[in-house]
Structure 1
Amino acid sequence: MFQDNRWLRMLQPGITAIVGAGGKTTVLERLGTYGHGGNLPIMVSSTVPMDSTRIDNVEPFDVICTEDVEKGEAFCAERIAGGHVPAWFWGLDGEDRYIGLPTKVIEQIKQHHPAWYILIEGDEAKDKWLKAPLPDDVPLPANCDTVIGVLNLQMLGNSLSPEKVEGIDTALTIMGRAKGAIITPAMLAKLIMHPRGMFRGMPCKRVLFCTGYNAVQHRMTEALLDELEGFGLAASVLADGYRETCTIRQYVAY
């Protein structure tokens, strides 16, 4: 139950956007599952393309793909009323990926259903370990209530490379380093706190969700959290594992 409560503490009515890299879909799945277990009216979606294998076989999500807003909204309302978790996407592309809903549609859903817990994946990191801001990033909903930034702690002590970092050129500029540089807690903190960084400057609740906790020396993680002091995070969550095995080790509220 304690584990359930720590996941539930990240949830609140309205829009929760999950951004970053290194476990976004796992966080979305776990929040949806624990929220469903807590009898919350949960809806799942995305504003970016998602690999269908990440959502399609995940219970208890019920997937619909439609560009008909009235139909999609009615489907979600019916499923939520029946005690299920709907997942609404615009359709499938040629690469077998779910197409996310337009941001304006997400904003309208919140206006029509203010009691719903709307979970969206809001970043495309292309399976890399770290995500830097890109000029063509899909904007987050303007009426977002929570942004959960997912950070893979295994980047600490790793090198800055295109193979590991989506948006490598932006990351190099923000961190003030060259390719191949070893990433320190201070460098990661710069990327997180930058006005166009992980949280996109959104004036809402911010939660840093760190994955790979047990794979990294804890003193490095502690140094990172020290660097972020005063940034305005609502909480830092330290976790390890993947999907069903993803386990929160520490939940630090500020």
Structure 2
Amino acid sequence: MNSRQLYSDIFEYSYNSPLVISLVGGGGKTSTAFWLAKEFKKRGHRVCVTTTTKMYSPKKNQADNFIKIDNSNLESISQLTKDLSDQSVTFCYQHLIPTNNKSEENKVSGITCDDIEQLKNGSYFTVFIIEADGAKCLPIKAPDRHEPCIPISSDMVIGVTGAEIINTRAIPEKIHRWHLFSALTQCSAGELIDRRILGNLIVHPQGLFKNAPDKARKIWLINKIDLTHDYTSLVKLAQQVLEQANNLDAIWLATMNSQAPIKERLVKQKLPIGN
């Protein structure tokens, strides 16, 4: 498989059932979710973007449709979606969570994994993209006991890490759930967040891909590569982690807020998605 194949397989493969992609890890999940949604929409898909936790309410230009889902209308999803375009992005949520701080954006609460299964079985949407984790906008984290909330039907799990934290000294205030991160990666405050630390985070059962289904493809997305001081060293580190992490299928190096976000892809030799 060449370096582009897994990337293109995601968008070009003809799926027999709806594709489910879950996003976990540090900051950058929301921008990744809506970039993926836009790319799938371009290819004629009906995309549902949602969350199983909480996330900032998306801007109006990020989705074509906004649907508030609760127990009273979930079973009638066919009625809710009957007038939607065949090529569209729909954001589904449960409740709006207003903020008392005018400088902060409103958040929304998401739907449950069971709700997603029910929506999937309704078969209107062809792709589901789910923000399944929270990180308080910090670039890296370790999951708490109740995290992440990944649907068991996920075909792919993308773990996000901010490049600005890689090859820098560990500052607890810049790492979400520092005490858990420190314990499972064996990282002390002030220690360099290097290949060893990141490799531990990725391969540990309670680490970045905690709760990811065994069958799901696992991609490490290193975001904000424009903030790294040494891109060559970053790529070398990524290649070493990919070689050593048995649970990892690919690494994407990206700047998700740019027009062409994916800058480089590193992929293991493996059968295409769907086989």
TM bucket normalised to smaller: 0.7 to 0.9
Give the aligned partner of residue 88 of structure 1.
92
- In structure 2, relative to structure 1, the CA distance for the partners of 1:31 and 1:62 (3 Å cut) is same
Shift of 1:233: 2.5
User: What residue identity is the alignment partner of 1:228?
Assistant: L
Q: 1:234 aligns with which of 249, 262, 268?
A: 249
User: Cα–Cα, structure 1 residues 85 and 168, in superposed 2: closer, same or farther, change >3 Å?
Assistant: same
Which region of structure 1 is more displaced relative to structure 2, 196-205 or 183-192? 196-205
Query: Residue 120 of structure 2: SS of its match in structure 1?
Result: helix
Residue 47 (structure 2) aligned to one of 39, 42, 55: 42
**What is the CA–CA distance in structure 2 between the aligned matches of 1:35 and 1:171, rounded to whole Å?**
34
Measure how far apart 1:48 and its partner are. Answer: 1.1
Q: Which stretch of structure 1 is more off in the superposition, 139-148 or 63-72?
A: 63-72
RMSD: 2.4
Match of 2:60 among 57, 60, 70: 57
> What is the aligned counterpart of 2:116 among 96, 102, 106?
106
Deviations 1:20-79 (A, max 9, x none): 112111110100111111111211111111111xx1323343112231213455434542
Closer, same or farther: CA 165–246 of 1 in aligned 2, 3 Å: farther
Cα 1:80/1:21, change in 2 over 3 Å: farther
Q: Secondary structure at the match of 1:249?
A: strand
Structure 1 residues 189 and 129 mapped into 2: Cα distance closer, same or farther (>3 Å)?
Answer: same
Does the 8 Å contact 1:236/1:251 carry over to 2?
yes
Amino acid at match of 2:64: F
Q: What amino acid maps onto 2:67 in structure 1?
A: I
Moved more, 212-221 or 147-156: 212-221
1:223 matches 2:237: yes
Counterpart position of 1:253? 267
% identity of equivalent residues: 22
User: In 1, are the aligned partners of 2:81 and 2:124 still within 8 Å (CA)?
Assistant: no
Deviation (angstroms), 1:91: 1.4
Secondary structure of residue in 2 paired with 1:58:
helix
| Letter of the 2:242 counterpart | L
Asked if 1:209 is matched to 2:212, the reply is no
Which string of whole-angstrom CA distances, capped at 9 and with x for unpartnered residues, describes residues 188-213 of structure 1? 11111111211115211111111122
Shift of 1:106: 0.8
Give me the TM-score of the superposition, normalised by structure 1: 0.87
2:95 is matched by which residue type in structure 1? Answer: G
Distance, in Å, in 1 between the alignment partners of 2:227 and 2:199 is: 19
Q: Normalization by structure 2: what TM-score?
A: 0.81
The CA distance in 1 between the partners of 2:129 and 2:22, in whole Å, is: 6
2:36 equivalent among 20, 31, 35: 31
5+ residue gaps, structure 2? 100-105, 269-275
Moved more, 164-173 or 223-232: 223-232
Count residues in correspondence.
247
Matched-pair contact (CA < 8 Å) for 1:76–1:88: no
Cα deviation, residue 109, structure 1: 1.8
The residue that corresponds to 1:153 in the other structure is: 163
Deviations 1:138-195 (A, max 9, x none): 4211111110111112111223233211111111011212223221122111111111
Q: 2:219·2:252 contact (CA, 8 Å) conserved in 1?
A: yes
Measure, in 1, the Cα distance between the counterparts of 2:246 and 2:90: 34
The AA in structure 1 aligned to 2:44 is N
Kindly provide the amino acid, as one letter, of the partner of residue 192 in structure 2: I
Inter-partner Cα distance in structure 2 for 1:73 and 1:138: 29
Partner AA of 1:248 in structure 2: I
Question: Which moved further from structure 2: 232-241 or 188-197?
Answer: 232-241
Taking the aligned partners of 1:114 and 1:234, their CA distance within structure 2 comes to 29
